[in-house]
Each structure stands twice: as C-alpha cells, then as structure tokens.
Amino acid sequence: MVDSPDELSRVFQALADPTRREILSRLRDGSMTVGALAEPFAMSRPAISQHLKVLERAGLIERTASAQWRTCTLRTEPLDEASAWVDRHRGEWAERFDLLDERLRELKGKTDA
C-alpha cells in the first residue's frame, strides 16, 4: 500500500518506463519466471533485472525464488493507490482547465470585438 509521497513517487517513476509497463502488462495474467518475462525484450538479463528491481522497490511486483527459478508476481495495491491519487486530483484539474477555457474565451471575445 502506498502510504507516503515517496512511495507514490516510486510507483509513478516505475510506471514512467515503457519496458516496465510492458512487464506489468505481461504479469496481469499471472506469475511468470524472470526468463519468460525477459524473452520478448531485446536487452540483457542484467538490464531486465534492473527494471525488476525498480518495480519491486515500488511494490508493484513480488519476486520469489524456488530452487533455480525466480518468479515475479504482480501486486496491484500500489496501482490502486496511484489511481486513487489521480482520481482525487482529477476534479481539481478539470475545474482549473474549465476556468482557463472560460478565460481564454473571454480574451478571444475581446480581441474579436
């Protein structure tokens, strides 16, 4: 669960990268091994490992080890919290854009006259 602004920042930082978003998308159907996750990406295993570390620090995945297998599982709680944060601010943003739109119409009306 995202409890502090720093945790929320880590979630948004993790989501900012297209490779990490694709990894999360691949995990939505269930857990996968690191090898299976890395398969479609044209990058080294250490690079994939770095992406997984970012996702794990953000709380978006959980990694487990069983014998030689490393498995990743999606954790949706941080995504739910990030979505809730956006929803809380959406109304304020919409209101500000509406005020800006109204002001621009007023200014345009003055220049047309």
- What CATH number is given to the structural domain containing 51? 1.10.10.10
Residue 65 lies in a domain: yes
Q: What predicted TM-score, i.e. pTM, was given to this entire model? A: 0.78
Number of structural domains (the chain) is 1
pLDDT of residue 57: 96
Residue ranges, the chain, pLDDT below 50: 1-2
pLDDT of residue 109: 85
pLDDT of residue 80: 93
Residue 68 lies in a domain: yes
CA distances from 21 to 11, 55, 64, 66, 81 (A): 11, 9, 20, 25, 16
Domain that holds residue 40: 5-83
Where is 32: in which H helix or E strand? strand 32-33
Separation CA 80–CA 76 (nearest Å) = 6
